[in-house]
Amino acid sequence: MHVVITGAGRGIGRALAEWYRAEQDEVTGTARDGSETVRMDVTDPDGPAALARHLQGRAVDLLVCNAGVYLDKGQDLDTGYPDAMWADSFAVNVTGVFRTIQVLLPNLRASAQGRIAIISSQMASQNRAPGGSYIYRASKAAVLNLGRNLAVDLKPQGIAVGIYHPGWVQTDMGGSAADITVDDAAQGLKARFAALDMAHTGCFETWDGRDHPF
């Protein structure tokens, strides 16, 4: 199996890449510092295009859109959430995901069973809405919506799309007080991706296999 993982240089993405490689799957990982197969910043206009050039003519069986930022932690409702923070967050968490998927559609179509996994968050949920972190929540809700609509458009082509909450994970983003380790998250997500088929396309699931409320 050939797996493409964005943001594979650290955190959840790195753990996923390690687990797939340990099982002899082929992984094309991306990182901004050149530490992975392809150097890519998803906000760079040529970033996803460079990834597509690197993979030209090669089937991709699973694309994991994992790269993400959480820039508005602790922002103040009255004085915070500047415009640039909205733009920067959406450029990575939404536009970057869309562009990566768009440029790799030929590669996904070339697989017998192309699948797309989008790492969103429980913070995307409309039902579970405790307030705060408006930018991150809005961006993760947007990418959940994007995944749900892609699932419909790509269904006739046999490409399944799943959207996932990876858990509250001990990474640079999640912090050391988070609930689970990167290995717990990666192993759980890997099982969810393996279960992703056309019957489950459009799902919003947690790392440990529960349906997440929209």
Ligand X SMILES: NC(=O)c1ccc[n+]([C@@H]2O[C@H](COP(=O)([O-])OP(=O)(O)OC[C@H]3O[C@@H](n4cnc5c(N)ncnc54)[C@H](OP(=O)(O)O)[C@@H]3O)[C@@H](O)[C@H]2O)c1
* Active site amino acids: 136
How many residues appear in the chain? 214
Picking from 193, 173, 158, 164, the residue whose alpha carbon sits closest to that of residue 20 is 193
Q: Which residues pair with 64 in a beta bridge?
A: 5, 117
Picking from 122, 136, 51, the residue whose alpha carbon sits closest to that of residue 92 is 136
Residue 157 CB, nearest distance to ligand X (Å)?
25
Using DSSP, state whether 114 is helix, strand or coil.
coil
Task: Give the residue with the Cβ less far from ligand X, 26 or 184.
Answer: 184
Phi-psi region of 162 (alpha: psi -120 to 50; beta: other; left: phi over 0): beta
Binding of ligand X by 124 (CB under 6 A): no
What is the phi/psi pair of residue 183, to 5°?
-70, -40
Window 77 to 96, contacts with ligand X (CB under 6 A):
92
Mark the segment that binds ligand X (CB under 6 A) among 30-38, 49-57, 71-79, 103-111. 30-38
Options 3, 12, 141, 150; binder of ligand X; rule CB under 6 A: 12
Task: Give the residue with the Cβ less far from ligand X, 67 or 154.
Answer: 67
Binding of ligand X by 1 (CB under 6 A): no
CA distance 94 to 183: 25
Window 31 to 70, contacts with ligand X (CB under 6 A):
31-33, 40-43, 66-70
Binding of ligand X by 114 (CB under 6 A): no
Residue 155 CB, nearest distance to ligand X (Å)?
24
Distance spanning both ends of the chain, measured CA to CA: 30
Catalog residues that contact ligand X under the rule CB under 6 A.
6-7, 9-13, 31-33, 40-43, 66-70, 92, 119, 121, 166, 168-169, 171-174, 178
